[in-house]
Amino acid sequence: MSTDAGSLAAESAGMESPDAGSADTESLAAGSPGAGSLAERQEALVRALVAGGPLPEGFDGARVGAAGRALRNKRFGEVTGTWPQLLPYGELFRAWARDRPPQGSWRDGWDFARAHRCSLDAEALTALAVCEARWRYGDEPRLRRGPVVRRVPGGAVLGFWSRVVVFRPRR
């Protein structure tokens, strides 16, 4: 109930937007529906849909909320295409994605998995470890060059020069 039931207006009501009080927000709030340039209006709508921003003046909150949910559903479908191990975490993902603009399914899945290490099962943790044995996390991930070892439930992941092997002694 808590994640997808409310309208976007209700969802954002309790959130302090980092933009609250900025010139954009003030001009939108003060003016009639449509105040602000096309660029400002489009940015405010996108912020509401993918970055946890407030519903821009004049929009139908229920309809924009439904569009936001559809966006997050589509995004989760794309993420699980790249990270099938995240399939059990739809509800968590949609809640997490609410205020994080999409960065592509590979990066979205990676960021989500890093932020939810404590909640993931062995399969998802292993996928994360395999990814991180190959790639160094950062704004622009780079292939690792040296050897790396990551513990995962029931085994370990070994990476060397971007080749990765999963060891699971008991399986």
Partner 1 sequence: MSGPGVGIGWRPALARFVEELPGLVDSGFSEVIAESLHHPHPALLELRDRGARIVPHGVRLSLGGADPVEPERVAHLAGCAELLGAPLVSEHVAFVRAGGMEVGHLLPVPRTREALDALVRNVRLTTAELGVPLAVEPIAAFFDWPEDEYAEGDFLTELLDRTGALLLLDVANVYANARNRGQDPLKVLESFPLDRIAYCHVAGGSEHDGYYHDTHTHALRQEVLALVTEAEARSTAEARLGYLLERDGRYPPAAELRAELDAIADAAGLARVT
How far is the C-alpha of 114 from the C-alpha of 107, rounded, in Å?
10
Q: How far is the CB of 60 from partner 1 (least distance, A)?
A: 6
Identify the residue among 9, 45, 158, 166 touching partner 1 (CB under 8 A). Answer: 45
Q: How far is the CB of 43 from partner 1 (least distance, A)?
A: 3
Q: How far is the CB of 133 from partner 1 (least distance, A)?
A: 25
Identify the residue among 6, 9, 17, 51 touching partner 1 (CB under 8 A). Answer: 51
Check binding of 39 to partner 1 (CB under 8 A).
yes
Among 39-47, 112-120, 124-132, 146-154, the segment contacting partner 1 (CB under 8 A): 39-47
Q: Which of 56, 108, 51 is nearest to 80 (CA)?
A: 108
Q: Please, are residues 124 and 140 in contact by the beta-carbon 8 Å criterion? A: no
Check binding of 43 to partner 1 (CB under 8 A).
yes
Burial 53-88 (b: 16+ CB within 10 A, else e): bbbbbebebeebbebbbeebeebbebbbeebebbee
Check binding of 84 to partner 1 (CB under 8 A).
no
Identify the residue among 6, 17, 67, 154 touching partner 1 (CB under 8 A). Answer: 67
How far is the C-alpha of 68 from the C-alpha of 63, rounded, in Å?
9
Instruction: Give residues with Cβ within 8 angstroms of 90, minimum separation 6.
Output: 76
For residue 136, the cross-strand partners are: 142
Binding site for partner 1 (CB under 8 A): 33-34, 37-39, 41-43, 45-47, 49-51, 57-60, 63-64, 66-67, 69-71, 74-75, 77-78, 101-103
